[in-house]
Structure 1
Amino acid sequence: MATQKELLRRRASRVRRSIKAVANGRPRLSVHRSSKNIYAQIIDDAAGRTLAAASTLDVGLRGDLKTGADIAAAAAVGKLVAERAKEAGVTDVVFDRGAFIYHGRIKALAESAREGGLNF
């Protein structure tokens, strides 16, 4: 029987494989959520480097947020990563939710990134 960690890794690789198939050279907005924080990166897979990143651990956000594990924190991270992506010259991305379902904090981050000017 596969462990929970293996199942999550398989689901993430399935999602990532389908995203890379339709990316057409666009960088991906990769999201990771833990029980206490949420992280977002815009990654250029062709060059193998991170173009922009934000998380609830950033100094500017940490003081403003009550906790890093709620929908408000995820929305703030989405807005911040969209601002940093615009500074890096990125507007079109593909959304990589990893092994997480598109619900709650992941959805809040995606919607605020769209409001911040990212297209996906």
Structure 2
Amino acid sequence: SKQELENQINEETSTLKNLEIKLDRYDKSKLDLNDKESFISEIKSAVKIGDQCPICGNEIQDLGHHIDFDSIAKRQNEIKEIEANINTMKSNIAVHNSEIKFVNEKISNINIKT
């Protein structure tokens, strides 16, 4: 029914807003992760074990595990997932808006005939 479609659109719009807020928080809390990863690689090539880390100040014990690339990759995947969910919601909303438009046209045709 038209009311169900409108309710569904309202729910999807609310979900979309929440996803966009979540994505915005990620955007604000990160440098571009790809840039960060290349920046880290540059730093790693410029330092050696025993040097002081230019980021945290600790003595570098191991170049391989000093930076957590897994957490960077995890955040990249979370961002991609949120972006995919946003696109799905936008698509669903567009479909339901089209359905409502169709229902409204039917209603308007019925009103014209009566």
TM-score by length of structure 1 reads: 0.23
Q: Which has the higher contact order (CA 8 A, sep 6+)?
A: 2
Structure holding more strand per residue: 1
TM-score by length of structure 2 reads: 0.24
Structure holding more helix per residue: 2
Structure possessing the higher radius of gyration over alpha carbons: 2
